[in-house]
Amino acid sequence: MNKFDRVFSILVLLQTKRIIKAKTIAERFGISLRTIYRDIRTLKNAGIPISGDPGIGYSIMEGYRLPPLMFNEGEAAALLTAEKFIGKLTDKETQTYYSNAMVKIKAILRSTEKRALEVLDNSIVTTNQQNGADSAYLQDVFKSVASKQLLQMQYRKADGTDSERKLEPIGCYRHRDRWYLVAFCQLKKGYRTFKMNRIVSLRVLEQQFDTKHIGLQDYIDQQDKAWKKEHPFHTIEIAFAPSLLEYAESRKYYFGFIEQSTQGNMVHMKFLHASLEIIARWLLQFGDQATVIAPTALKDRLKVLATQLYRHYQ
């Protein structure tokens, strides 16, 4: 990216948040802090009302806005692609908002870009259907997080009973095709993670909260660290026959793939995973076309499972 494009992009970025630190801008564009400071000076010298200092962050004076921006064909295509998937990943209300935004974006495109987008629109089809049960309340959660309003929730627990909760929401995230809500639960006096497909009802209350909570990513990192501490990881090596490589590679990252090498006519893969049981049951489908090199405990577990399977069908 040349300097002109970079400086203009920094100006656009500064309008997206109240305050942005130089480090954040540098990471976004992959450049040094010194370059960012020079670009900020360039904008100031051009008369852009930027306030702030290194180490604190920068902001544009309230009320200053660039004129409407034009999207290039690549950017518009990326937004169209996202529109195709957003209905499968979120609720209908979010899909409607996004579709309305896309109509406004298409309205400002040049005719050549509009024609290209029309062709592309009919060339992207998503077939993975989402039942929507776990994303029905996303807009309510977004609203409550942004305005710091309490949530009143009726939640169905794993045992089938319902529980009334009053929550101070932190945010929500999607993991393995499911949405999760993270919030401070006033009933339990602590942070909790809720599966959104178990929410029976949810409404945003007028009452606000002013507690400063942990950030969503920090909470996820803490939970991940605690889980790993309770579940020590095993280094696993498996040799796959070439005929199975396609199937093994399609799921390898799910099982903690580390590295891969070819030894003789076999492909060796190393994994880091907390559950030998999960790995063992995954390997059962491959029969004698996958050989465990290490650890011994995994070999022993496979023998037990294979014996149980043999007896089951006798």
- Same domain flag for 52 and 84: no
> What pLDDT, in 10s, does the model give residues 66-88?
655 666 667 777 777 777 777 67
Q: What is the DSSP letter of 135?
A: S
Instruction: Evaluate whether 46 touches 11 at the Cβ level (below 8 Å).
Output: no
Determine, yes or no, domain membership for 53.
Answer: yes
pLDDT grade for 97, boundaries at 50, 70 and 90: confident
State which residues form the domain around 55: 3-60
Q: What is the DSSP letter of 20?
A: B
Sign of CA dihedral 42, 45, 51, 56: positive
- Same domain flag for 103 and 177: no
Determine, yes or no, domain membership for 16.
Answer: yes
> What pLDDT, in 10s, does the model give residues 181-233?
999 999 999 999 999 999 999 999 999 999 999 999 999 999 988 887 888 88
Instruction: Evaluate whether 208 touches 245 at the Cβ level (below 8 Å).
Output: no
Instruction: Write down the pTM of the prediction.
Output: 0.58
In CATH, what number is assigned to the domain containing residue 188?
Answer: 2.30.30
